[in-house]
Amino acid sequence: MAEIVLTKVKKVYPGDVLAVRDIDLKINDKEFVVLVGPSGCGKSTILRMVAGLEEITAGTIEIENRVVNNIAPKNRDIAMVFQDYALYPHMTVRKNIAFGLKLRKYAREEIEKRVQEAGRILGISELLDRKPRALSGGQRQRVAVGRAIVRHPKAFLFDEPLSNLDARLRTEMRAELKRLHGRLQTTTIYVTHDQEEAMTLGDRIVVLKDGIIHQVGTPLEIYFQPVDRFVGGFVGTPPMNFLNGKLVAENGGVMFDEGTVKLVLPQNKHTAVEDMVGKDAVLGVRPETMHVADSAHSENIMPVHVDVSEPLGENTDLYVSTASNKSVVARVESHPGLEMGKDIKLAVDMEAAHVFEVGADAKNRTVEHSRFAS
Amino acid sequence: MANANDVAAAKTGAHIEARYSIGHLIVYITLVALALFFLLPFIWQVLTSFKTLLDTERTIWPSVWVPRNYLKVFEQIRFGRYFFNSIFVALWVTTLQVTTSSFAAFAFSRLKWPGRDKVFLLYLATMMIPPVVLMIPNFWIIMRLGLYNSYAGLIVPAAFSAFGTFLLRQFMMTIPSSLDEAATIDGATEWQVFTDIILPLARPGIIVLSIFTFMGNYRSFFWPLILIKDDALRTLPIGLMYFDSVYGQQINLLMAGSVMSIVPLVIVFVIFQRQIISGIQIGAVKG
Ligand SMILES: Nc1ncnc2c1ncn2[C@@H]1O[C@H](COP(=O)(O)OP(=O)(O)O)[C@@H](O)[C@H]1O
Ligand SMILES: [Mg+2]
């Protein structure tokens, strides 16, 4: 029943570096939560405060209904996997994995049993007598995970554990970590700057920027209902396109006027944007919600010029310029006639588009909330 | 693959060429000359140790070889006793200094406490004071502590060292902090982090410091000279002075004793050659 609750958690580093601002977050028992955000947004700081490696400036952190602010890391019953693996170079794999158990005075047979078990689960049984120096990156990664799981802790904390691996191993280990979580069902907080990793691993994702939580939600919520422009732009590859323009009312409908084209908002979205009519707005369009226009499309069509065409197989990424000379990326079904230099027409699926308001709050911070997020 | 091999072969070729270039030849000749130059005093010392007293002032090469000089050293002074004293004191100093330095280095590199880095700067500053300047205050303190003319008087002042602390701190700074953090989460206390993680990883630094400390103390001259009165407490450098004093000047015996006194250093050097060289490099690179 290891629930982790952060209440108004704040971190100020010496030198008045405000790294985390009043974060509220509840991680449920057995949940796999991913903290994601650009480098420097405070992910590691949050994780390290949960681990007890960093003092909490203000607020409380509870693990299993116990406030741990003043509890030493070793008494929090958590395990952490570091980006650089932090394997003890002078100990064999076996000793690395057993170190925590030994310090906790487990019986010799129990230690051996658990080391063997971890070795089996992670496929490193043959490596137990090697030193970390003699292991590949992927193997070191497994040992680091092994060291975390032998203690059967209340929670796992991962700080960018895959970022030192090459792309193929990363995908492989990603799947393995997911499988491991399915098997052990241990509450997990996982930090990464890679949105794809976040999407594939998390039961829920916490999107952070500048020490603030922008959105908490399931991967699909984050993807389909980003609360603001930052989240919309951060999640998804290629990233969401943003068009600047104005909302206008015409012929009983609401349109987004980009200057050279007008895109019609579907009826069911009118109420959400009623008060924005006549004002500046940003339209968010995911590359995969654009299609090459054919006879079936009659509205929301944008004439564009193909600057670069990248066939990926089934799909092709088109880097195009609009009539107003704005760069846009579209991911469309591959077919002939999409070569560089061609002039084509793209149809925008306005059902899937996002409208972000443009403005400033009382503190003069930019506000780019989505009008469609629930 | 063939390409890669070609490149590798080309590289080796270039390497061989470079090794025999004129520039390298000059460097080699210079180094060999320098090495011989540094060996000269030692050669002179060994030659002198086999000379008659008369020869010492007249010839470079002994006209007669007198191995008995070495026996005479034992007859005229308590060489064994001095030798024991030197080793005894140097071992104690080394043990204590390495222990205190590693504690202090851990505190300066790992523990977080207010003013830590300022205190460390003060430590460093003490290294800039010439040792002679400290001789009199140190002597006064040791007198007051009642340690004049004792082993403890020889050992205690050298049991702490800013240089040792500095050397080990620099070494420990290179150990990634995620290791102690992992150990902390694994359940280690500060003490266990020190003994189980940092100390084993700082081993190369500790070996280097041990060697330097041992060699430095074994050779120390001025402090034992002013501190020790009893013949039984004399260390080798002081004991050997008998041969160059008011009781007479026997340079040949002095050199014979010196040659014998070098033996432990040579042994240490032969065993730890690699560490000594890397230690010099630590000093050179890290400054
Ligand atoms: N020990 C520290 N002292 C001062 N500032 C720090 C320290 N650690 C991190 N920071 C700052 O806090 C912010 C968040 O850092 P971090 O949590 O490491 O970000 P992330 O893991 O998301 O990349 C950054 O601006 C970083 O420079
Ligand atoms: Mg980080």
Q: With a cut of 90, say whether residue B7 has pLDDT above it.
A: no
**Closest residue of chain B to A14, computed from CA coordinates:** B114
Q: With a cut of 90, say whether residue B17 has pLDDT above it.
A: no
Which phi and psi (to 5°) does residue B128 adopt?
-90, -10
Pairing of strands A212-217, A58-63: unpaired
Greater model confidence, B15 or A144: A144
Greater model confidence, B141 or B272: B141
Q: With a cut of 90, say whether residue A363 has pLDDT above it.
A: no
How far is the C-alpha of A162 from the C-alpha of A34, rounded, in Å? 13
Mean pLDDT computed over B234-247 = 89
With bands split at pLDDT 50, 70 and 90, how would you rate the model's confidence at B132? confident
Q: Out of A34-48, B79-93, B131-145, which region has the weakest mean confidence (pLDDT)?
A: B131-145
Kindly report, residue by residue over B206-227, the tens digit of the pLDDT: 998 999 999 999 999 999 999 9
What pLDDT does residue A136 have? 93
With bands split at pLDDT 50, 70 and 90, how would you rate the model's confidence at A256? very high
DSSP H or E run through B266: helix B251-286
How far is the C-alpha of A215 from the C-alpha of A205, rounded, in Å? 8
**Pocket flag, ligand 1, residue A17 (CB < 6 Å):** yes
Q: With a cut of 60, say whether residue A276 has pLDDT above it.
A: yes
Residue identifier of the C-alpha nearest atom 21 of ligand 1: A44
Contact list in B for residue A53 (CB cut-off 8 A) is 181, 184-185
Residue identifier of the C-alpha nearest atom 24 of ligand 1: A40
Q: With a cut of 70, say whether residue A185 has pLDDT above it.
A: yes
Residue B262 alpha carbon to ligand 2 centre in Å: 54
Assign domain B72-286 to its CATH architecture. Orthogonal Bundle (1.10)
With bands split at pLDDT 50, 70 and 90, how would you rate the model's confidence at B1? very low
Mean pLDDT computed over A19-25 = 96
Side chain identity, residue A356: F
What pLDDT does residue B5 have? 47
How far is the C-alpha of A291 from the C-alpha of A297, rounded, in Å? 9
What pLDDT does residue A367 have? 63
Exposed/middle/buried for residue B193 (C-beta within 10 Å: 0-12, 13-18, 19+): buried
Kindly report, residue by residue over B190-200, the tens digit of the pLDDT: 999 999 999 99
In DSSP terms, which residues pair with A311 in a beta bridge? A316
Contact list in B for residue A52 (CB cut-off 8 A) is 184-185
Boundaries of every domain in chain B: 2-49, 72-286
Do the Cβ atoms of B182 and A147 come within 8 Å?
A: yes
Q: With a cut of 70, say whether residue A15 has pLDDT above it.
A: yes
Answer whether A106 touches B (CB < 8 Å).
Answer: no
Q: Looking at the CA of A35, name the nearest ligand.
A: 1
Mean pLDDT computed over A287-294 = 93
Q: With a cut of 60, say whether residue B58 has pLDDT above it.
A: yes
How far is the C-alpha of B198 from the C-alpha of B191, rounded, in Å? 10
* Three-state DSSP class for residue A188: strand
**Pocket flag, ligand 1, residue A192 (CB < 6 Å):** no
- Asked if residue B50 lies in contact with residue B66, where contact means CB atoms within 8 angstroms, the answer is yes
**Closest residue of chain B to A148, computed from CA coordinates:** B186
**Pocket flag, ligand 1, residue A19 (CB < 6 Å):** yes
What pLDDT does residue A358 have? 84
- Asked if residue A71 lies in contact with residue A154, where contact means CB atoms within 8 angstroms, the answer is no
Q: With a cut of 70, say whether residue B16 has pLDDT above it.
A: no
In DSSP terms, which residues pair with A255 in a beta bridge? A248, A264
Rg for chain A, CA atoms, rounded: 25
In DSSP terms, which residues pair with B202 in a beta bridge? none
Mean pLDDT computed over A92-111 = 96
B5-B6-B9 Cα angle (round to 5): 85
Q: With a cut of 50, say whether residue B61 has pLDDT above it.
A: yes
| Tokens describing residue B178 | 């995620």
With bands split at pLDDT 50, 70 and 90, how would you rate the model's confidence at B9? very low
Q: Out of A116-125, A296-305, B32-41, which region has the weakest mean confidence (pLDDT)?
A: A296-305
**Pocket flag, ligand 1, residue A18 (CB < 6 Å):** no
Which phi and psi (to 5°) does residue A238 adopt?
-60, 160
Mean pLDDT computed over A237-243 = 94
Interface test with A, best of B179, B181, B185, B194 (most A CBs within 10 A): B185
Nearest Cα to A193, choosing from A224, A220, A170, A226? A170
pTM: 0.84
Residue identifier of the C-alpha nearest atom 12 of ligand 1: A19
How close, in Å, is residue A172 to chain B by CA atoms?
25
| Residue whose CB lies within 8 A of the most ligand 1 atoms, among A9, A12, A17, for a mutation test | A17
Mean pLDDT computed over A52-74 = 96
What is the overall mean pLDDT for chain A? Answer: 92
**Farthest-apart Cα atoms in chain A, separation:** 80
How many Cβ atoms are within 10 Å of A90's Cβ, its own excluded?
A: 17
Interface test with A, best of B186, B194, B196, B198 (most A CBs within 10 A): B186
What pLDDT does residue A360 have? 62
What pLDDT does residue A362 have? 52
With bands split at pLDDT 50, 70 and 90, how would you rate the model's confidence at B18? low
